[in-house]
Amino acid sequence: MAQYSVHDAKTQLSRLIARALAGEEVVIARGNSPVVRLAPLTSPGRRRFGALKGRIAMDARFDEPLPHDELEGWNLP
């Protein structure tokens, strides 16, 4: 684990980012206390169409109009 002061991190930020992207653990400290760890973001991955098929069920009344009393609660013109 490489530890750097805030001042060093400010002056070497590009280099520290490159080290973190290469897999090195980079820690920034205030005084002798570690406060931040630089780590690469993980990509969320591709979403697959239909991945939740069969896991979500819609009520049979989903497309029916809302009852009058519920519509009044929305204060629509």
Task: With respect to residue 47, please indicate whether it lies within any of the assigned structural domains.
Answer: no
Task: With respect to residue 43, please indicate whether it lies within any of the assigned structural domains.
Answer: no
**Sign for the pseudo-dihedral over CA of 62, 67, 70, 76:** positive
Task: With respect to residue 23, please indicate whether it lies within any of the assigned structural domains.
Answer: yes
Task: With respect to residue 34, please indicate whether it lies within any of the assigned structural domains.
Answer: yes
The CATH number of the domain holding residue 13 is 3.40.1620.10
For 38-71, how does the pLDDT look when each residue is reduced to its tens digit (9 = 90+)? 999 888 888 899 999 999 999 999 999 988 888 8
pLDDT at 18: 96
Q: How many domains does the chain have?
A: 1
**Domain region containing 13:** 2-38
Tokens of 64: 């029916």
Torsion of CA 45, 49, 55, 57, to 10 degrees: 140
For 16-46, how does the pLDDT look when each residue is reduced to its tens digit (9 = 90+)? 999 999 999 999 999 999 999 999 988 888 8
Task: With respect to residue 70, please indicate whether it lies within any of the assigned structural domains.
Answer: no
